[in-house]
Amino acid sequence: MDDTPAPRPYRHGNLPNAMRAAARAILDEAGPEGVGLRETARRVGVSATAAYRHFDSKEDLLASVAAEGFRELTAAMKAAVESPEPLTGVGLAYVEFALQKRGLFRLMFGPLMVERARYPKLSEAVGEALGFLEQVVTGADAKTQDESPATLAAWGLVHGLSTLFIDGLVPESQARTMAEQILVRSAQTRPNASVQ
């Protein structure tokens, strides 16, 4: 008879998801520099060794969280494209995402964005988000071309507005109204593009 104790079942069910959720909470409290594998594991209630079974490093965990963020941003933009003015709706969804998920937004567009080629899932999630934005702005199949100048201009507008708002340079009480006014005016000055 084997006297080896039976392994205890993992109580969270899905450690990577639990680690990402804890890392997101830390992001909101302390920013990316506050996230570490040991602290994240402690919050989840597991050992650092258990965390290292799923994530090689702090950067690996953060890249996984950022990829999750880009997938959520893409889903929010896709839901907004059904609005009467698709480009305005998508832009407002982008700004709203930034306002609701500040720590995550800052992580997504920080140094990991530049180094995304090192993290295939993050690179794929970024590509999907930018590809969808390209499709909304130009109506073109984003898989066949790089981002157009029009897409970069639209992205720059919504990203810049989002950054101004989450950094407190414009009062949050005015952010949504101002964003809508700016995006509506911007959409009126360009030819309409439709999502195919």
Mean pLDDT of 120-129: 96
Higher pLDDT, residue 140 or 33: 33
For the segment(s) 58-188, the CATH number from 3.90.950.10, 3.90.1280.10, 1.10.357.10, 3.40.50.2300 is: 1.10.357.10
CA–CA separation, 76 and 104 (whole Å): 14
Span 29-75, pLDDT tens digits: 998 899 999 999 999 999 999 999 999 999 999 999 999 999 999 99
CA–CA separation, 13 and 15 (whole Å): 6
Supply the pLDDT for residue 5: 39
pLDDT band at 1 (very low <50, low <70, confident <90, very high): very low
CA–CA separation, 49 and 28 (whole Å): 25
CA–CA separation, 41 and 25 (whole Å): 13
pLDDT band at 11 (very low <50, low <70, confident <90, very high): low
Angle, helices 149-166 vs 120-138, to 10°: value is: 110
So where are the chain's domains? 1-55, 58-188
pLDDT, the chain, mean: 87
* Residue 161 reports pLDDT greater than 90: yes
Fold of 1-55: Arc Repressor Mutant, subunit A (1.10.10)
Supply the pLDDT for residue 147: 76
Supply the pLDDT for residue 120: 96
Report how far apart, in Å, the C-alpha atoms of 83 and of each of 16, 78, 180 are: 35, 10, 13
Supply the pLDDT for residue 190: 63
Q: Which residue has the tokens 């069910």?
A: 13
pLDDT band at 128 (very low <50, low <70, confident <90, very high): very high
CA–CA separation, 131 and 14 (whole Å): 30
Residues 6 or more apart whose Cβ sits within 8 Å of residue 78 = 132
For the ranges 8-12, 30-34, 126-130, the one whose mean pLDDT is highest? 126-130
Ramachandran category for residue 98: left, alpha or beta (phi over 0 → left; psi -120 to 50 → alpha): alpha
Span 89-102, pLDDT tens digits: 999 999 999 999 99
Instruction: Say if residues 94 and 73 touch (Cβ distance below 8 Å).
Output: yes
pLDDT band at 12 (very low <50, low <70, confident <90, very high): low
Residue 105's closest CA among 129, 70, 137, 154? 70
Residues 6 or more apart whose Cβ sits within 8 Å of residue 157 = 91, 182, 183, 186
